[in-house]
Amino acid sequence: METENEITESVFTSDDDDFNTTGFNCAIKIISKSLFWERVRERSERVDTLVRETAVHATITAHSKRMRQSSPFLKLHHFFETRESVVLELELLDGTDLFQYIDARGSLLESEAASIMKDILECLLLTERLGVAHRDIKPANILMCNKTDHGAQVKVGDFGMSTFVNVDGLVRGRCGTPGYVAPEIFNATASVGYRNKVDMFSAGVTLYVLLCGYEPFYGETDAELMDTNKAAKIEFIDGDWEHGKSNLCIKIEQIVSKYDVYIQYVLCST
Q: In whole angstroms, what is the distance from residue 167 CA to residue 252 CA?
A: 31
Domain boundaries, the chain: 8-90, 98-268
The predicted-structure confidence for 128-152, as pLDDT tens digits, reads as follows: 999 999 999 999 999 998 766 666 8
The total of other beta-carbon atoms located within 10 Å of residue 42's CB is: 8
Q: Model confidence over 28-76: pLDDT tens digits?
A: 899 999 999 999 999 888 899 999 999 999 999 998 888 766 788 999 9
Residue 209 has pLDDT above 80, yes or no: yes
- The mean pLDDT value of the chain amounts to 83
Fold adopted by 98-268 = Transferase(Phosphotransferase); domain 1 (1.10.510)
Please tell me the distance from the alpha carbon of residue 167 to that of residue 173, in angstroms, as a whole number: 15
Which residues are known catalytic residues? Answer: 136
The CATH number assigned to the domain with range 8-90 reads 3.30.200
Q: What is the pLDDT of residues 66-119, one digit of tens each?
A: 876 678 899 999 999 999 999 999 998 877 899 999 999 988 888 888 889 989
Q: CB count, 10 Å around CB of 13?
A: 18
CB 163 within 8 A of CB 132: yes
Which pTM value belongs to this model?
Answer: 0.84
| Alpha carbon distance 76, 91 (integer Å) | 6
